Structure 1
């Protein structure tokens, strides 16, 4: 006997027992009478017992057949209920969605956006995972993620929501004391604060917007962190300069605590993306959250965005 039960034959047998007829079961299941008969015979052979007696005039279940018919009918009912629940969830948003997002962006924008979504969909819950590290959506069981990057080709499906600008920033006090760099070569004489998850790794890759000249700088300074927000206090205190995204630095620049420098040198473009594993249709709860986030984050989120 194989490890898995013959579920198809059990379901067919349950319908035969219910209708008291091979023909009735065949009509109810949209199968041929021969298919129904073979399924019952296969089940009897597998179990090594007779399940029903049938002649041209009479049809009756054996003791074993009556016992099995009751269990099989229960099994079919539970399977239909499970299938119905799954189909319902595919249409009506219901259940848990696991969402990953970068730490700073998640705290500033994703977390504040979720109450409105949850109020709209009271049968949906969200497990929000915040980390600047790139999570393995499939391996770690996430339904979708927000990523700020230049995404490589992959098996993931991705929606580009908004560009994210990055600039070198420093405090006015630091620039007054150490001077304002105008060329990547000048950065060798400056304290450069590092971010662990730059798309370019340890290096800053810069391109002059007019000439197209490229430069690579390996930052050296008193602080390196795996979260860009963690550099803000040191920047405002005048400990160095750093590459920061606009959604982190815009308020400090607007209020005079930081300034952008070397604005004619650009870092490789990155964007805010909404990504999900590729493959078949998604549950309604995942589609609902992704559509909500896409609409919410496709509009300007901080001053200076187009």
Structure 2
């Protein structure tokens, strides 16, 4: 027999004074109500009720056991209420990880909007360009760049992560503007360097006529897009930049987009999460990320400066 059910029958019997009343409350027979209490007595090894023909009363041990059972049943009911409340509305801590540049420029402002609509959620956002194992490290979702390889996670496709070539007006006034990818060989190119990979010494382009692989070099490498952007703004060279990191500079004229007739590779971007962790707070987060950054809602070139 289920122990909690037996405890509930026992408490009801003690409160009402009879097996018949307890049986009526639970929709069972009086004999079954008595069986629930007898099972508890066998389990604890002591009599819990004094049985008479008219009324059941608690023994000394039964009184102590009764008080503990009432507390336990109240805790169980409270736990169910909390679980039902959690399943109905987003609340609690939500741990998210994302690439540094997209996370700082796009995801963080979106999270601010998400929190306004879900005031009972607390978001922990970790920005890192390394691969994060969601299960082992306890994250509920991640923004991932590149092709998906982990089949154990559910993925939602987002807008591609687009790169643009740009430089400051001062740099272009001094060195001229490259008109083709090949002309980048004569320019100082600012390169992103990964901690675990060598400096990117080739930039890739394409147009209607084919693809172009261009060796580049320059005086400055960094593992942070903000540092490269600062160098580009101060005229240090040409930058291959994530669109999200320079869109405001392009719109304001602080940077100028170059080689508009050529496309650079756009990396796939996804929101990934374990199916087992799809809580209300995570489902609401997923819905908002897809609404704001999904391929059907954000058109290619929306952030492009004119």
Q: Sort the TM-score into its range (normalised by shorter chain).
A: 0.7 to 0.9
Residue among 237, 242, 248 paired with 1:240? 237
Cα 1:209/1:14, change in 2 over 3 Å: same
Contact 1:181–1:262 (CA under 8 A) maintained in structure 2: no
Q: Unaligned stretches of 5+ in structure 2? A: none
The match for 1:82 is 79
2:289 counterpart of 1:293: yes
Show the counterpart of 1:3.
none
Question: Could you tell me how far apart the structure 2 residues matched to 1:36 and 1:199 are?
Answer: 68
Structure 1 residue 162 displacement after superposition? 1.8
Q: 1:146 to 1:81 in 2, by over 3 A?
A: same
**More off after superposition, 202-211 vs 133-142:** 202-211
Q: Is 2:280 the counterpart of 1:284?
A: yes
Residue in 2 aligned with 1:142?
Answer: 139
SS of the aligned residue for 1:163 comes to: coil
Task: Tell me the matched-pair count.
Answer: 295
Please report the TM-score for the alignment, with normalisation by the length of structure 2: 0.74
Is the 1:168–1:244 Cα contact (8 Å) retained in structure 2? yes
Residue 74 of structure 1, CA deviation: 0.8
The match for 2:95 among 95, 98, 101 is 98
Q: CA deviation at 1:115?
A: 4.0
Which consecutive residues of structure 1, in runs of 5 or more, have no partner in the other structure? 1-5
Whether the 8 Å CA contact 2:178–2:184 is kept in 1: the answer is no
How has the CA–CA distance of structure 1 residues 58 and 24 changed in structure 2, closer, same or farther, with 3 Å as cutoff?
closer
The 5-angstrom pairing of residues 228-267 of structure 1 reads 228-254=225-251, 255=253, 257-261=255-259, 264=262, 266-267=264-265
Q: Shift in Å at residue 234 of structure 1?
A: 1.4
Q: Does 1:158 align with 2:155?
A: yes
Q: CA deviation at 1:28?
A: 5.1
TM-score, reference length from structure 1: 0.74
Greater Cα offset, 84-93 or 219-228: 219-228
8 Å contact kept, 1:209–1:266 = no
Task: From 205, 225, 229, give the equivalent of 2:222.
Answer: 225
Q: Distance in 2 between matches of 1:249 and 1:292?
A: 24
Aligned mates of 2:31, 2:195 — CA distance in 1: 66
Change (3 A) 1:275 1:57: same
In structure 1, C-alpha distance between the alignment counterparts of 2:128 and 2:206, rounded to whole Å? 31
RMSD (CA atoms): 4.0
Q: How far apart are residue 88 of structure 1 and its match? A: 0.8
Q: 1:27 & 1:214 partners in 2: Cα distance? A: 82
Inter-partner Cα distance in structure 2 for 1:14 and 1:79 = 11
| Residues 12, 25 of structure 1: 8 Å contact kept | no
Alpha-carbon distance in structure 2 between the residues aligned to 1:226 and 1:15: 66
